[in-house]
Structure 1
Amino acid sequence: MAQDRVVLRKAGWTTDFIHPRTGKRTQNRVGSEDEGWAIIHAAHEAARVQHNVDAKAGKRVKTAPIQQNGSLSIHEAFQLSWDKRWRGQKSTGNIESHLKQIEEYFGRDTQLVDITGHWLDLFRKQLLSEGNKPSTVNRKVSVLRSMRTDAVRFGKLIDVPTWPPGLTEERIPPRWLDPQEILLLRDYFQRRARRSMELPSQHGGWAGRGPCSWTEMEDAFLLRLNHGSRCQETINVKRRDIQVSQGLIQITFIETKNGFPRTVRVEDPECREILLRRMEGKGLDERLFRMKWRVYCDNFAEAVKELGLPGRVTGHITRGTFATVAITNGTPLPVLQHFCGWRELDSVNHYAHNDTQSQGIVLDAVKGIGQTSVITKQRRLDSCK
């Protein structure tokens, strides 16, 4: 080996090498250079022989115990996750679309344990090459990750390969509506509703999306803005989901994203009037709004474009605006999480930077910290005199 040597010193020839068995530096005085090298070679040979003996005895090289890992194809894993995780949730169409891409790339009957980290990374690179953003790729891969998690959690698989973490996403800057923008949107919805009823489609009326959609836009917009509800939750509210008792009005959002219904109080006078008006003449299972959520999004996008609102403004901005205003006025994050139906607190933390009320606790605690430092320094100077 490179560190092995036999050197001539004042006392005579000396071996200097790292012993292969102990790993320690070894020096021995010998009669000649040849004798020194013979000792070194003998030590290495003895170590090699002992290694073979230990290997046969199972002391150094051991075989892992055989463990039944289970068998689960990609399609079977999806059925498991569908039953345990996704059944009853909204927006499952995206999940099924992602599964189709996963099965096309990896194969429907491919075993889940055969998907290595390298293979998964190649799948992500292909998605990126097709023009998908990192956030989109992460959403698609998250379906596969959920399937793997459920397979282990429910005992279908015991051991699975390690996969790389998600791709780094570009965080979209926070955006919410200010009071002036809210008034502009409401005014546009009103003007557009009047035009849709007065003019036929070919003359710039309802533009193929139905006149009722524009007459419903402001009502749906205000309900979403005042309760932080998602689009489908609001559009799909039925007569039976509204409870009116002794002047108290409550909405139960049934068709939520995560499948868990939630009930909120209605305090805003305009929203109370909207619900009472839209409930009139409706059967228990009739929806309060006739338009679909996609029509709402298209109408909202048209309004944003016509008004020239800057930044990324979509129909979902009402939810972010609600969260921003609530946190700014001191609503605790867990309370807001329950009110808006977020499953994870991390979703609420996106708006936590607006919590200026709670920041007051910190500012009060350190109030006068600069003056205290000056006083302390002066006392130290005085004590040194």
Structure 2
Amino acid sequence: MKHNMSLSVVMCTYNGASRHLAEQLDSIFSQTLLPAELIVQDDGSTDNTMDLLHDYAAKAPEGMEMRIFRNEKQMGINANFFSAMRRAKGDLIAVSDQDDIWMPTKLEEQVAAMADPHMMMCVCRSVPFSESGAEVRYDPRRPNCNLIRLFYASMMGHCQMLRRTLLDYIPSETEHPDIYRRTCYDVMTATAAAALDAICLIDRVLVRQRRYAETATYVGVDAHRVRQADNALYMVWYGMCHWHKVKPWMRQHFAARLTFIEWVWRHEKAGTLDVRDGVTTNNPIYADALKLLHAECGTSPFSLLSLMRMYVKYRHVLFYTYEKDPVALLRALLHPFMQVYNYRYLVPKK
């Protein structure tokens, strides 16, 4: 295999046989660069998913082993994916959902990008599509995947290829239960890679992401988040009106991220991990990330001013893609209030 790195693909399934599992397996089997192994871990499907998986294992391409596991009890998305990834033997791990379609060169292009020994993760772009009438929205602009941005978004798991050693930077659910309750596995892996300043982007669509209302991660399109001046004004108004209701829940949300990246820092500095040359959390954006998260968790007016200062400083990387001034400056100043609208879902429903 190129670059002397072995590759594993990890997929988690649940009642996927009647959906689109076969189509995704076909796209993996058709890659221009085949993985050494495909690990599929099922979380207690009640349909014929297991039969379909065994049928595909019998016809796996030469040189690729398909290993199938079934959980005795349902584990949920986070525990299932981390458990499956830790079974992988490869130096590199590509994450797969059960219902997408990979472009034929996905694995080949990502492995080539990971030839840089300083990279812990490579992400690509995906384009959503629907055959069921579910709403989809796609932004064609080049995204960014720096640490500051990833506090407010993530690179989806199906876009990720990670070095297996990155898993050593992820605390277990016992060590950090709060982060597992408040976020998803792909947020943890991407945030850890970004904290190490070791994540790269292939600015090409290499995954077609199937969207339908029944999928675990489906969220309908929010018309208020479409980029328009009137929507921005609405979000600012909403944030000012609901600040005291939403912000306490936001503080808990960001506190979990703060302790998470501090965990990454402590374990690297303690020398408990096999850290590669050139990878370090001792970089300016990491130090500012800590300041930003402390400001997100603060309760005083000074915390808000500090937060706005950090937003202004990182205004060109805070948003999905690069923004020019004065638009970037104005958005950064208003961002604390607009974020209240974005995180309103954190407030428990009565």
TM-score, L = length of structure 2: 0.21
Higher RCO structure (Cα 8 Å, ≥6 apart): 2
TM-score, L = length of structure 1: 0.19
- The structure richer in helix per residue is 1
- The structure richer in strand per residue is 2
Larger Rg computed on CA atoms = 1
